[in-house]
Structure 1
Amino acid sequence: MEILVILLTIIGLSLFEIITSIDNAVINAEVLSGMSKKARRWFLTFGFFFAVFVVRGVLPFLIIWIANPSISPLSLLSLGGGSAARDAIEHSAPILLIAGGVFLLFLFFHWLFIEPKHYGIRGEKFFHAQGAWFFAIVSILLTVIVWFALGKGAMLAFGAVVGSTGFFLIHGFRQFAQQQEERLLSTKNNISDLSKLAYLEVLDTTFSIDGVIGAFAFTFAVPLINCS
């Protein structure tokens, strides 16, 4: 049974990361193609390193520490952390799970109703045409989730709200960044490489945060989240 859970976790994380990474890579390639060689080299060496590796390396530890402030940073970095650290993480597991789950649920409905796409699955066009219903559906879902979570504990309900808040914060920044994409890619506009680098940093950082928060719906194994 444990092997099955491990396999499902790895498969779920892999699919989630593949889907988001392809989208990220396509946008990066489009913007990088209009930049100088020096700017491309800088982004691929330093900018990409920060937006992806630093965020993915630090954020999972930071999230767990915020949920468990009693754990010392040294205990978190030691991965094992001792029995006290493991007990604290296990105690906060439902909060992290519901936060990651709500985030992932909102991400799915955003893709279903709003995300621009080429239709490949039966019914996609219908749902995409009902984009106005996205906010109504996720609002109702959040209300229902919080209602039932309150029966288990206030912190569990708070975790659900944190997941939804994280989604709208991250996607608000991403939506603003994507609105600038057409202007950045336009040959008529003389946009500096610095502006394009800033755009890519924001975009890649939001994709990385997406991956980290969504990964908590699958696992609390920080090394696995770091590598995903």
Structure 2
Amino acid sequence: MGIISIILIIIGLCLFEVVSSIDNAVINAEVLSTMSEKAKKWFLLYGILFAVFIVRGLLPWAIVWATNQSLGPIGALTATFSNDPHIIESIEYSTPILMLGGGVFLVFLFLHWLFIEDKHLGLATEEFFLKNGTWFYAVVSVILVGIVAVALKYNPVLALSAVIGSSAFFITDGFKKMLKKTKKS
């Protein structure tokens, strides 16, 4: 990997982190505005601990370990700091698995926004998608079947990854809907 590639990757990751942080701050500000002082302190303390240590610390380690079980838990941790060709090959093997699962999650998230979320952007197609919102479930089901069918030709673990990405979307969407429902009550 050349220096230009490394610089572009670092810039891309920094940009992604900044955009994600701003989006997260906006959402947190909205959530915090509806809470009591005690709940705000709890949310900030545990939210920051969870975001920093679990999501950005333990989760990547767990993913590397789960997709490269031959490394073991300690090997997955030290793999991040290693130049061993075997470890690099093992991690590169897991890249498509991680990318497919995350990609399915993000495609479903986009389609959910397109079909289900109420938007006021003034686009001509916006009303069409909102009127046909129930098609979201049919569209994502067909997409998932297609992805799994193609993935099975290459690697059954890829198919599992697609299903895990889909499951992660529906689990988080279900929690979001439940929280909205309890907030209205």
Q: Evaluate the alpha carbon distance shift between residue 14 and residue 111 of structure 1 in structure 2; reply closer, same or farther with a 3 A threshold.
A: farther
State TM-score, norm by structure 2.
Answer: 0.80
One-letter code aligned to 1:48 = G
- 1:40-119 alignment, distance < 5 Å: 40-44=40-44, 46-54=45-53, 55-78=55-78, 79-81=80-82, 82-119=84-121
Cα deviation per residue 1:54-85 (whole Å; 9 max; x = unaligned)?
22221111112111111133333331233332
Moved more, 123-132 or 107-116: 123-132
In structure 2, C-alpha distance between the alignment counterparts of 1:96 and 1:123, rounded to whole Å: 33
Percent identity between the two aligned chains: 44
Return 5+ residue gaps in structure 2 as ranges: none
One-letter code aligned to 1:71 = L
In structure 2, C-alpha distance between the alignment counterparts of 1:143 and 1:72, rounded to whole Å: 32
Offset of 1:96 from its aligned partner? 1.4
Q: Evaluate the alpha carbon distance shift between residue 171 and residue 149 of structure 1 in structure 2; reply closer, same or farther with a 3 A threshold.
A: same
Offset of 1:36 from its aligned partner? 3.5
Cα deviation per residue 1:136-160 (whole Å; 9 max; x = unaligned)?
0011111111111122122222221
1:134 equivalent in alignment to 2:133: no
Return 5+ residue gaps in structure 1 as ranges: 184-228
Count residues in correspondence. 181
- Corresponding position of 2:19: 18
State TM-score, norm by structure 1.
Answer: 0.66
Pick the structure with more helix per residue.
2
Aligned 8 A contact 1:80 1:86 in 2: no
In structure 2, C-alpha distance between the alignment counterparts of 1:12 and 1:137, rounded to whole Å: 31
- 1:1-228 alignment, distance < 5 Å: 3=4, 7=8, 11=12, 14=15, 18=19, 22=23, 24-44=24-44, 46-54=45-53, 55-78=55-78, 79-81=80-82, 82-183=84-185
- Considering Cα pairs closer than 8 Å and 6+ residues apart, tell me whether 1 or 2 has the greater RCO: 1
Q: Evaluate the alpha carbon distance shift between residue 100 and residue 13 of structure 1 in structure 2; reply closer, same or farther with a 3 A threshold.
A: farther
Aligned 8 A contact 1:119 1:125 in 2: no
Offset of 1:176 from its aligned partner? 1.1
Q: Evaluate the alpha carbon distance shift between residue 116 and residue 14 of structure 1 in structure 2; reply closer, same or farther with a 3 A threshold.
A: farther
In structure 1, C-alpha distance between the alignment counterparts of 2:181 and 2:17, rounded to whole Å: 24
In structure 1, C-alpha distance between the alignment counterparts of 2:5 and 2:47, rounded to whole Å: 34
Moved more, 119-128 or 172-181: 119-128
Aligned 8 A contact 2:152 2:158 in 1: yes
In structure 1, C-alpha distance between the alignment counterparts of 2:6 and 2:137, rounded to whole Å: 32
One-letter code aligned to 1:176 = M
Q: How well do the aligned residues superpose, as a CA RMSD in angstroms?
A: 3.0
In structure 2, C-alpha distance between the alignment counterparts of 1:118 and 1:12, rounded to whole Å: 30
One-letter code aligned to 2:43 = F
Q: Evaluate the alpha carbon distance shift between residue 99 and residue 31 of structure 1 in structure 2; reply closer, same or farther with a 3 A threshold.
A: closer
